[in-house]
């Protein structure tokens, strides 16, 4: 199962990559929403871990763009410091985790997102 991580923080991307690979997931990472949208692997992706607050296109904006393009990928939003309005919008769209979170919490969120 291929999981994509989109987060502008390299340390977060690498730690999530390591955690998910140890848990048996195949993982690809992206430093920005624009990088993600250029990927040829989008059709393979079963879940998207998406930081809400990023420079340029935010996680919420990427989510809306995916919907506009009719690309259905289950999303788990992540945030450490997003504005309340963005957090509320993410919660309405699906699952939202607050950084830092435990590995077990992340794995449960991914499984729940895929089942929805």
Average pLDDT over residues 81-109: 82
- Give the per-residue pLDDT at 10: 97
Q: CA of 93: how far to CAs of 9, 71, 78, in Å?
A: 23, 14, 12
User: What distance in Å separates the CA atoms of residue 113 and residue 92, rounded to the nearest whole number?
Assistant: 13
The tokens 């730690």 sit on which residue?
Answer: 15
Cα angle 68-63-27, degrees, rounded to a multiple of 5: 120
Per-residue model confidence (pLDDT) at position 25: 96
- The C-alpha atoms of residue 55 and residue 4 are separated, in whole angstroms, by 18
Residue 73 is predicted with a pLDDT of: 95
pLDDT tens digits, 38-74:
999 999 999 999 999 899 999 999 999 999 999 999 9
A 10 A CB-CB count for 37 gives 16
Give the integer Cα–Cα distance in Å for 110 and 113: 5
**Between residues 21 and 85, the one the model is more confident about:** 21
pLDDT mean across residues, the chain: 92
């Amino acid at each position: 199962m291929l999981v994509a991580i989109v987060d502008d923080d390299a340390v977060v991307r690498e730690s999530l990559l390591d955690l998910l690979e140890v848990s048996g997931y195949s993982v690809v990472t992206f430093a920005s929403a624009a990088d993600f949208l250029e990927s040829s692997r989008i059709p393979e992706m079963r879940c998207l871990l998406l930081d809400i607050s990023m420079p340029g296109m935010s996680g919420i904006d990427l989510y809306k763009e995916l919907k506009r393009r009719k690309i259905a990928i289950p999303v788990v939003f992540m945030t450490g410091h997003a504005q309340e309005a963005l957090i509320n919008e993410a919660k309405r769209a699906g699952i939202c985790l607050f950084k830092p979170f435990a590995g077990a919490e992340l794995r449960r969120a991914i499984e729940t997102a895929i089942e929805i």
